[in-house]
Structure 1
Amino acid sequence: MPVDFPQPSHARSIRRLLIGVLAMLAGAPLASADTSDFRGVNWAVLGDNFVEGSLILYGLAESDDYDTVRAKADAVYTGFEDNLAVNTVRLPVNTHTVGSDWWDAYSGVIDSATDRGFKVILAYWEDGAASEGRVNDMYAWNTMWDTVTDQYGDNTLVHFEPMNEPHGYSATDWVDMAAAWVNRHSSVPKERILIGGSGYSADAKPICADSRLDGTLLSYHIYTFFSSGEKDYDGWVQSFKDGLGDCASRAITTEFGAPMDSGLDYSDANSSDNFVQYIRALTDSMRELNMGSTYWPAIGGKITSGQDDDWYSIQKLHGSGTDLTLSTPNPSGVDRLHHGWGL
């Protein structure tokens, strides 16, 4: 049964005020420090972000104008704050969205987040899964990022991830491409740039080994389906650290997740379930290494067979129009998320 965690409106207002003050005092986190201040989730398109068209996040409608998007985003972010205690949201961008009429409205999702003190990670998703992990139009990609960085480059809460899961490139080619992006956007402070690991963002080592990318943050992904066969707890700890190498101080686990709809108890240290051991191993490791994370997904994502959303979703969306609320399907999953964040 979904569990809601309501709070009085004045409590939410005080929290937002404190978050805003801390953001102004602290500014963006330093790449040389730990990344534990990134406590977040992904808000995705229902069906996933690999679309050859506009990115319509779950809960939004293409007919929404800026004010309607703002109102919906405000409701969703209130749920994220109250139910999950997040301070970061990772959002997709693509070449069909940025610069379009929809971008004028979509910007409300970003503006709503930063106005309440959230950090925002804007990550490029390739334009459809048929792109096979590559940028299929470099001119459009550069134009998109020029627009995004021009619009949000002065906002210290906004961070930029040139590409999500660049698996169509060799490690060498991807590092060269990432270095060219950093050079093109030299006005963006490096500590606000996240470079995905090679492959499916699962190998951070080539990124932190290249001096051209010194000072940037690293975007790191790890899922059970990246691995052949199941592992025990120690095996998942080793797998998590193998992909990181010595790069943990710069890395944020921007995608990881497990089923939240199947009744698994992630608080059970004696469980032999592969997903439970995976989540426990990852959250223990991130806590130990002072790493931040953005869980995949909060809402949206792939549609699981027989369901109307992604079974990994750590929140459930209810309501219609701008009257949106969120509930928590598995409190033990949230507990482990908080544990990984050091809460």
Structure 2
Amino acid sequence: MNWADPRDNYADDAVVPSGLSTSDSYNTTYAKADAIIRGFHTQLAANTVRLPINPYTVNGSYWNSYTGAIDAAVADGFKVILSYWEGAAHKDGLVDDADAYWTMWNTVTSKYANNSAVYFEPMNEPFGYSLSAWSDLVAKWISNYSTVPKNRIFVSGTGYNDNVTGVCADSRFDGTYLSLHHYGFWASSQTSYSWWVNDLKSRIGSCASRTVLDEWGAPMTTGVNYNGAINGDAYIAYMQADSDTLRSLGMGSVYWPGLRNGDSYSMTTLGGSGTNLSLTLNNVTGMGRLRWSWGMDNQQWTRS
């Protein structure tokens, strides 16, 4: 599950996942995160959470509290992917401030490099870079943090994380994971199941064994039946195609978002107050499609 800031994770201040607050102490953040992470597990059978970071979060005072969310997830048996988001003011697909960026990663890796449950994604959606420029930046990241095992690094695909074939071919990234994004709104006029299958596979190439779809999602608060007949609905076609393809290729995925207040794609809704928080499921067929993509057979979801 992606756990996101209600404003989106592009922020010119600290990123604050839904339900948390910059005024919370470490212990309060830990307690809130524990409730939400447990909700992801009980409601969705999830075992991984992807969390945003930026220099405002890590290089300032909020980091001491924010680590409570990371630590709670690890204590609950989750894997944690920490991904850098650029700020909202630039939003040009480039690292905003190189010095602040490297200071951030120095702090993050110093704390979590030896924690086998924590994974690192040098940048989310690096669309401002050419393949060669992006690959060189990632290679520098790997060199700078050579104590981080390669199998705990997620190398984003080029563009909006929309194609991993280029980074997959770079031998400098052998042994890493590759992160891909795929969304129905990218081609909302396409209602063909086979079109969506072919589109996703073309973005993966021969790299499925290393690739995690760490963002994909569709509206979950509108009552759509994602197991129903497609009947000209691009999102049903997309969800059925992606979930079937992920399952057939044995790929992992991280849904966008597991929780984000105000987002119609959110798989859950946050309830409660203080540290007494709970999650409710927004769409049982969406949840089923997600579980199906993960290879779970508790319910037999069939494409109509």
Say if 2:29 and 2:66, in contact at 8 Å, map to a contact too. yes
TM-score, normalising length from structure 2? 0.95
Cα deviation 1:14-48 (Å, max 9, x = unaligned): xxxxxxxxxxxxxxxxxxxxxxxxxxx10000020
Shift of 1:247: 0.8
Shift of 1:130: 2.0
Q: Identify the residue that residue 318 of structure 1 maps to in structure 2.
A: 271
Tell me the distance in 2 between the aligned counterparts of 1:221 and 1:81: 22
Say if 1:217 and 1:252, in contact at 8 Å, map to a contact too. yes
SS in 2 for 1:312: coil
Q: Identify the residue that residue 178 of structure 1 maps to in structure 2.
A: 138
Say if 1:95 and 1:127, in contact at 8 Å, map to a contact too. no
Evaluate the alpha carbon distance shift between residue 341 and residue 66 of structure 1 in structure 2; reply closer, same or farther with a 3 A threshold: same
Q: Identify the residue that residue 176 of structure 2 maps to in structure 1.
A: 216
Shift of 1:180: 1.2
Greater CA drift, 224-233 or 175-184: 224-233
Shift of 1:115: 0.7
Cα deviation 1:206-255 (Å, max 9, x = unaligned): 11111111111001001122237324100000010011111110000000
Q: Identify the residue that residue 89 of structure 1 maps to in structure 2.
A: 49
Shift of 1:275: 0.3
Shift of 1:172: 1.4
Shift of 1:261: 1.0
Cα deviation 1:281-338 (Å, max 9, x = unaligned): 00000000000000000111xxxxxxx6100000000111111111011100000000
Cα deviation 1:123-164 (Å, max 9, x = unaligned): 000122523110021111111111101100000000000000
Q: Identify the residue that residue 74 of structure 2 maps to in structure 1.
A: 114
Tell me the distance in 2 between the aligned counterparts of 1:214 and 1:100: 34
Tell me the distance in 2 between the aligned counterparts of 1:234 and 1:124: 33
Tell me the distance in 2 between the aligned counterparts of 1:52 and 1:312: 23
| 1:265-276 mapped onto 2 (5 Å cutoff) | 265-276=225-236
Tell me the distance in 2 between the aligned counterparts of 1:234 and 1:246: 18
Say if 2:208 and 2:251, in contact at 8 Å, map to a contact too. yes
Cα deviation 1:34-83 (Å, max 9, x = unaligned): xxxxxxx1000002000000111110111100000011001111211110
SS in 1 for 2:253: strand
Tell me the distance in 2 between the aligned counterparts of 1:140 and 1:95: 6
Give every structure 1 segment of 4 or more consecutive aligned residues whose post-TM-superposition deviation is greater than 4 Å. Answer: none
Say if 2:189 and 2:234, in contact at 8 Å, map to a contact too. no
- Given the alignment, which residue of 193, 196, 203 partners 1:243? 203
RMSD over aligned Cα, in angstroms? 1.1
Say if 1:44 and 1:58, in contact at 8 Å, map to a contact too. yes
- Given the alignment, which residue of 170, 181, 189 partners 1:229? 189
Q: Identify the residue that residue 151 of structure 1 maps to in structure 2.
A: 111
Count of matched residue positions in the alignment of Structure 1 and Structure 2:
296
Q: Does 1:337 align with 2:297?
A: no
- Given the alignment, which residue of 242, 251, 254 partners 1:291? 251
Tell me the distance in 2 between the aligned counterparts of 1:297 and 1:48: 10
Cα deviation 1:93-150 (Å, max 9, x = unaligned): 0011103211000000000000111000000001225231100211111111111011
Tell me the distance in 1 between the aligned counterparts of 2:174 and 2:163: 16
Q: Does 1:278 align with 2:238?
A: yes
Where structure 2 has 5 or more consecutive residues not aligned to the other structure, the ranges are 297-304
SS in 2 for 1:318: strand
Say if 2:230 and 2:236, in contact at 8 Å, map to a contact too. no
Shift of 1:272: 3.0
Tell me the distance in 1 between the aligned counterparts of 2:250 and 2:182: 17
Q: Does 1:139 align with 2:99?
A: yes
SS in 2 for 1:121: strand
Q: Does 1:71 align with 2:24?
A: no
Say if 1:95 and 1:144, in contact at 8 Å, map to a contact too. yes
Shift of 1:271: 4.0
- Given the alignment, which residue of 15, 21, 27 partners 1:61? 21
Tell me the distance in 1 between the aligned counterparts of 2:206 and 2:185: 24
Q: Identify the residue that residue 64 of structure 2 maps to in structure 1.
A: 104
Tell me the distance in 1 between the aligned counterparts of 2:152 and 2:92: 27
Say if 1:266 and 1:279, in contact at 8 Å, map to a contact too. yes
Q: Identify the residue that residue 87 of structure 2 maps to in structure 1.
A: 127
Higher relative contact order (CA 8 A, sep 6+): 1
Say if 2:127 and 2:161, in contact at 8 Å, map to a contact too. yes
Say if 1:230 and 1:274, in contact at 8 Å, map to a contact too. yes
Tell me the distance in 2 between the aligned counterparts of 1:257 and 1:164: 16
SS in 2 for 1:259: coil
Q: Quote the sequence identity (%).
A: 47
TM-score, normalising length from structure 1? 0.84
